[in-house]
């Protein structure tokens, strides 16, 4: 009887764990579907995702002001923003000139002139009609991620690139993604830019905070954080 009871408890624990993982994935999908497909002001003609879906662009414009002094302050503020973003582009370009094995960039803010694809929404769109209880869900996620990373944009200063944000869905255990291998392979012939509030400590990218389980091991990869 003890053996039967132990088996029953084990099955119960596995069932609960699976249901929790499935619930987490459903939450990620539903959250991602409510967000815009992309952000940025870059050239979007290279992406089939942009061709078929409405896009909201982040425009760097100042609001009309009631006085000349206020208008001058707005212009100065806009120039400061543009200057800061030009510096980030320069940092990427200088990093790429080093001819490193990987071309991997982590940033925390949008960069003017570059288009960032909402990875979470694209992946959620591909998964929402799938049977989330099927083991095939991991293959669908892997294929979709590969397609996303093959959808190139081009910038005259940094060449071909793929810029992504809203990446939280990648850390869902049910998707079983090998993120280090995926980024390593994708960043050998194009620049991969990841925008996130995450932090990097000791060659590990932490999506939420150092010490949590949602991380990407970057050891052995060449990358820059700006």
DSSP annotation of 163 reads: E
- Give the confidence band of 92 by pLDDT, cuts at 50, 70, 90: very high
Find the domain containing 23 and state its range: 2-58+95-225
Per-residue pLDDT, 78 = 46
**Which range, of 45-49, 127-131, 205-209, averages the lowest pLDDT?**
45-49
54 pLDDT higher than 60: no
Number of domains in the chain: 1
Flag whether 75 is in a domain: no
Flag whether 83 is in a domain: no
Flag whether 131 is in a domain: yes
**Which range, of 46-50, 82-86, 140-144, 149-153, averages the lowest pLDDT?**
46-50
Flag whether 74 is in a domain: no
Flag whether 148 is in a domain: yes
72 pLDDT higher than 90: no
- Give the confidence band of 211 by pLDDT, cuts at 50, 70, 90: confident
Flag whether 134 is in a domain: yes
Flag whether 63 is in a domain: no
Flag whether 193 is in a domain: yes
Per-residue exposure over 97-127, b if at least 16 CB sit within 10 Å of its own CB, e if not: eeeeebbbbbbeebbbbbbbbbbbbbbbbbb
Beta bridge partners of 224: 105
């Amino acid at each position: 009887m003890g053996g039967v009871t132990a088996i029953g408890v084990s099955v119960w624990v596995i069932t609960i764990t699976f249901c929790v993982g499935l619930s987490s994935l459903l939450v990620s999908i539903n959250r991602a579907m409510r967000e815009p497909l992309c952000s940025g002001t870059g050239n979007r003609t290279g992406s089939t995702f942009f061709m078929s879906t409405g896009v909201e662009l982040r425009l760097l414009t100042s609001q009309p002001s009631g006085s000349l002094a206020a208008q001058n302050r707005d212009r100065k503020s806009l120039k400061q923003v543009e200057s800061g973003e030009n510096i980030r582009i320069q940092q990427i370009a200088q990093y790429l000139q080093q001819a490193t094995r990987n071309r991997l960039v982590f940033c925390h803010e949008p960069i003017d002139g570059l288009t960032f694809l909402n990875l979470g929404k694209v992946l959620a769109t591909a998964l929402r009609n799938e049977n989330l209880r099927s083991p095939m869900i991991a293959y669908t996620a892997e294929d979709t991620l590969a397609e996303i990373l093959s959808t190139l944009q081009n910038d005259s200063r940094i060449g071909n690139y793929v810029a992504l944000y809203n990446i939280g869905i990648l850390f869902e255990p049910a998707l079983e993604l090998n993120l280090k291998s995926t980024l390593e392979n994708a960043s050998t012939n194009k620049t991969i830019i990841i925008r996130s509030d995450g932090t990097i400590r000791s060659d590990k990218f932490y999506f939420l905070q150092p010490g949590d389980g949602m991380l990407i091991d970057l050891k052995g990869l060449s990358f820059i954080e700006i």
